[in-house]
């Protein structure tokens, strides 16, 4: 970091064990990011900010600048009724949505804290149902494994249990009870109802995905439908993010390998819809896209003045590089890396000013407070804070 002309590497979006991730711990995430050369890292767990203190300490130990984020799932009844999709390819009306640069220490008001607690309870009630149904399936097939919410929570999760924790627990339970590959294969054939199954039962990542796809997905034996009516609408999600001091940010899917969703079919249409909602930041997970396809959307949003972030998620069992890259590992070009860093500088300045009791990038209504003539000075503040945090003596 001694050369001020270098572009620091930014990953604006990872999940940690506080929701679900491939990392063994928050510390593991920071260590891997440092090993990969990432200098700015953003935490973005579902419905929780419980990992903030741990994340900040882990990043400081690795000379990484921490960005404090969060992710929610919103629901639009109008889009559901019209069969219109945002960034969920299978569920019309579902909107994954992020916040960037929240306050640490957290600053949610009482209503927001109650809302977060309600969201947590709703997700955990759902997981209890998943575990109960999965245990019923296992018992019906005479598989002598019984999963426990409390055991899964204490062994594999950080307070919040998610569906992938359940599949991880079942994988390890089968491996422990049937140590041999033949025994595990026979057991999975029974569980899956597939006498021809012959997968790599020792491959943890492969088997966790198989368990989830064969048992927990829609139409499968242990599937439990979530009550999407209990999700917040987009307005309330944005209100919650702003209450925590954050910047609302829409995660753009645009996965051209599966076809584009209705709201994302054209970058101009999408940017207009987001502006109408008072959204000034977007985020891409580039590994979903070819580089050329990604550039088309990124260029448009940059020209429209949006903050543009790039992340990796890491919310599956697979462990891969923490450096954002397009499909098949294609590296982001210099313009994208500069754009990513500039957006990170805005978040860093926002975090710094909020911590000092001053105004940030947006106010409590989500309105941008930084005039165009003052933007370079704002970015420069964020750049100084990042380089101070990442400087090694």
Mean per-residue pLDDT, 271-295? 96
pLDDT value at residue 230:
81
Omega cis (within 30) before 105:
yes
Look at residue 203 and tell me whether its pLDDT is greater than 70: yes
**Residue reference for tokens 């620091």:** 8
- How sure is the predictor about 103, in pLDDT bands with cuts at 50, 70 and 90? very high
Residues 65 and 132 in one domain: no
Is 335 within a domain? no
Residues 149 and 208 in one domain: yes
Look up the domain containing 163 and give its range: 121-216
- How sure is the predictor about 393, in pLDDT bands with cuts at 50, 70 and 90? low
Look at residue 153 and tell me whether its pLDDT is greater than 60: yes
Listed in sequence order, the DSSP H helices in the chain are 26-36, 52-61, 77-81, 110-140, 149-156, 163-177, 181-192, 204-211, 234-243, 267-276, 291-303, 334-355, 375-390
Mean per-residue pLDDT, 201-213? 97
Is 90 within a domain? yes
Is 331 within a domain? no
Residues 78 and 165 in one domain: no
Look at residue 2 and tell me whether its pLDDT is greater than 60: no
Look at residue 246 and tell me whether its pLDDT is greater than 80: yes
Q: What integer best gives the mean pLDDT of the chain?
A: 96
Residues 102 and 134 in one domain: no
Look at residue 5 and tell me whether its pLDDT is greater than 70: no
Residues 364 and 249 in one domain: yes
Mean per-residue pLDDT, 63-68? 98
For 92, the 3-state DSSP assignment is coil
Is 260 within a domain? no
Q: 256-284 burial, b if ≥16 CB within 10 A, otherwise e?
A: eeeebbebbeebeebbeebeeeebbbbbb
Mean per-residue pLDDT, 61-73? 98
Domain termination residue (choose one: 200, 216, 232): 216
Residues 12 and 100 in one domain: yes
pLDDT per position as a tens digit, 21-30 = 999 999 999 9
Residues 174 and 43 in one domain: no
The residue with greater pLDDT, 259 or 94, is 94
Q: How many domains does the chain have?
A: 2
**Residue reference for tokens 């990604």:** 294
Is 41 within a domain? yes
Q: How far apart are CA 311 and CA 331, in angstroms?
A: 13
Q: How far apart are CA 137 and CA 142, in angstroms?
A: 9
Cβ atoms of residues 97 and 73 within 8 Å: yes
Give 374's contacts (C-beta < 8 A, 6+ positions apart).
none
Residues 89 and 139 in one domain: no
pLDDT value at residue 333:
96
Q: How far apart are CA 202 and CA 318, in angstroms?
A: 14
**Residue reference for tokens 């899956």:** 192
Residues 157 and 211 in one domain: yes
pLDDT per position as a tens digit, 333-354 = 999 999 999 999 999 999 999 9
**Quick one: how far is CA 157 from the chain centroid?**
16
Is 386 within a domain? yes
Q: Are strands 307-310 and 9-14 parallel, antiparallel or unpaired?
A: unpaired
Domain termination residue (choose one: 164, 199, 216): 216
Domain termination residue (choose one: 216, 236, 270): 216
Residues 370 and 249 in one domain: yes
Is 290 within a domain? no
- How sure is the predictor about 193, in pLDDT bands with cuts at 50, 70 and 90? very high
Segment (H or E) for 307 = strand 307-310
DSSP 113-124: HHHHHHHHHHHH
pLDDT value at residue 4:
52
- The CATH number of whichever domain residue 50 belongs to comes to 3.20.20
Which candidate, 4, 52, 50, 10, places its Cα nearest to that of 33?
A: 10
pLDDT value at residue 194:
97
Is 165 within a domain? yes
Mean per-residue pLDDT, 108-131? 96
Residues 103 and 16 in one domain: yes
Residues 34 and 171 in one domain: no
pLDDT value at residue 3:
45
């Amino acid at each position: 970091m001694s050369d001020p002309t270098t572009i620091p590497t930014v990953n604006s979006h990872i999940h940690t064990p506080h929701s679900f991730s491939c990392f063994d711990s928050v510390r593991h995430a920071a260590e891997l990011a440092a090993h990969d050369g990432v200098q700015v890292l953003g935490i973005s767990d579902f419905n929780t900010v419980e990992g903030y203190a741990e994340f900040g300490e882990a990043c400081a130990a690795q000379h990484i600048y921490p960005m404090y984020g969060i992710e929610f799932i919103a629901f639009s009844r109008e889009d559901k009724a019209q069969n219109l999709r945002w960034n969920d390819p299978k569920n019309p009306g579902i909107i994954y949505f992020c916040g960037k640069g929240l306050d640490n220490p957290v600053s949610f008001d009482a209503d927001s804290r109650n809302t977060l607690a309600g969201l947590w309870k709703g997700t955990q009630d759902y997981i209890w149902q998943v575990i109960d149904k999965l245990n019923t399936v296992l018992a019906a097939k005479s598989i002598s494994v019984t999963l426990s919410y409390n055991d899964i929570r204490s062994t594999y999760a950080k307070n919040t249990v998610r569906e992938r924790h359940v599949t991880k627990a079942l994988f390890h339970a089968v491996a422990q009870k049937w140590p041999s590959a033949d025994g595990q294969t026979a057991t999975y054939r029974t569980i899956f109802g597939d006498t021809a199954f012959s997968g790599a039962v020792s491959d943890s990542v492969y088997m966790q995905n198989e368990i989830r796809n064969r048992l927990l997905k829609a139409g499968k034996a242990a599937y439990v439908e979530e009550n999407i009516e209990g999700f917040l609408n987009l307005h309330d999600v944005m209100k919650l993010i702003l209450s925590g001091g954050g910047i609302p940010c829409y995660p753009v899917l645009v996965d051209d390998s599966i076809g584009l969703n209705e709201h994302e079919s054209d970058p101009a249409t999408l940017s207009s819809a987001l502006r109408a909602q008072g959204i000034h930041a977007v985020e891409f997970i580039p590994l979903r896209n070819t580089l050329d396809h990604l550039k088309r959307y990124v260029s448009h949003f940059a020209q429209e003045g949006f903050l543009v972030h790039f992340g990796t998620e890491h919310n599956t069992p697979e462990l891969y590089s923490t450096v954002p890259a397009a499909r098949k590992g294609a590296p982001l070009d210099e313009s994208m890396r500069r754009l990513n860093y500039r957006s990170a500088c805005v978040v860093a300045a926002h975090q710094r000013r909020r911590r000092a009791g001053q105004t940030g990038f947006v106010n409590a209504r989500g309105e941008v407070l930084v005039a165009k003539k003052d933007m370079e000075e704002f970015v420069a503040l964020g750049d100084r804070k990042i380089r101070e945090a990442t400087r090694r003596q």
